């Protein structure tokens, strides 16, 4: 991987050669018009970022599009990510990035509200009006055909609570296998609860590397792992 100098990075930022990451959680239908307007503004001013685009940036150290890139990230695996956010991205030509808490998706809809409240998954009133809160696996598979899906652990855990070998296996490895089995594609990235950075725990960093992830998303950066 090419490592550009600090001056080169400054020059690229001045020219708009960068990627902006914008994080979302629940995207209820009641806020669809607000989200549509925001994403439309991004689509006007930024270029979509596919997985191939991100790979190219890390391999060359140079952003290759005329506009800076945009990665809209829709966390957790809410049903409305599939029914509201993804269709808006499709309409606007944006590539959405969807980190999925796989056990949330696997949870029986009857218990999804309880699961969410027990695992730091925020809910708005619309989420709790009955019915399914999380995506199902068919929706995850469909998303993977035009967007990027990857694990946000299994149980929406942070590295500070996934402490045993069994915890790490479930949150880091099994979540990847579950997504790959459904999508038929490599799960390229991983993200902990709270967006913890790579480099905070050698044990957990090793688990992410061993699982074969290329990227770890964090609150302040995207880390290239492998």
Residue 58 lies in a domain: yes
Share of the chain above pLDDT 70, in %: 92
Distance in angstroms (rounded) separating the CA atoms of residues 37 and 97: 19
pLDDT for position 1: 42
Q: How much is the pLDDT for 10?
A: 52
Is 80 inside a domain boundary?
Answer: yes
Mean pLDDT for 190-197 is 96
d(CA 150, CA 23): 15
- How confident is residue 2, by pLDDT bands cut at 50, 70 and 90? very low
Q: Which domain holds residue 63?
A: 6-224
Find the DSSP H helices in 46-76.
51-60
What does the pLDDT average to over 35-47? 98
Residue 3 has what pLDDT?
54
178 assigned to some structural domain: yes
Q: Which residue blocks in 70-201 are alpha helix, DSSP H? A: 79-80, 86-92, 102-106, 112-118, 137-144, 165-168, 175-183
Number of domains in the chain: 1
Residue 147 CA to residue 178 CA, distance in Å, equals 17
- Is residue 172 a part of any domain in this protein? yes
Q: Would 120 be classed as within a structural domain?
A: yes
Q: What is the pTM of this model?
A: 0.93
Domain CATH code at residue 199: 3.20.20.370
Assigned domain for 197 exists:
yes
Mean pLDDT of all residues in 137-161: 97
Residue 1 domain-assigned?
no
Residue 71 belongs to some domain of the structure: yes
pLDDT of residue 130: 79
pLDDT higher than 90, residue 13: no
Nearest CA to 75 out of 189, 173, 161, 210 is that of: 189
């Amino acid at each position: 991987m090419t490592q550009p100098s600090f001056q080169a990075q400054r020059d690229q930022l001045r020219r708009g050669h960068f990627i902006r990451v914008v994080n979302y959680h629940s995207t209820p239908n009641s806020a669809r018009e607000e989200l549509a307007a925001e994403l439309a503004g991004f689509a006007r001013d930024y270029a979509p970022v596919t997985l191939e685009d991100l790979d190219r940036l890390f391999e060359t150290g140079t952003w290759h599009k005329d506009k800076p890139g945009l990665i809209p990230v829709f966390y957790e695996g809410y049903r409305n990510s599939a029914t509201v956010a993804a269709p808006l991205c499709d309409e606007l030509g944006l590539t959405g990035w969807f980190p999925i808490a796989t056990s949330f998706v696997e949870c029986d809809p009857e218990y999804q509200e309880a699961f969410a409240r027990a695992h730091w998954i925020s809910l708005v009133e619309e989420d709790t009006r009955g019915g399914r809160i999380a995506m199902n696996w068919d929706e995850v598979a469909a998303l993977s055909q035009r967007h990027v899906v990857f694990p946000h652990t299994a149980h929406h855990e942070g590295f500070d609570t996934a402490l045993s070998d069994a915890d790490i296996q479930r949150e880091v490895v099994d979540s990847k296998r579950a997504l790959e089995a459904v999508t038929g594609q490599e799960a390229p990235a991983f993200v902990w609860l709270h967006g913890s950075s790579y480099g905070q725990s050698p044990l957990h960093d090793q688990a992410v590397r061993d699982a074969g992830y290329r990227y770890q998303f964090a609150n302040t950066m995207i880390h290239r792992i492998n």
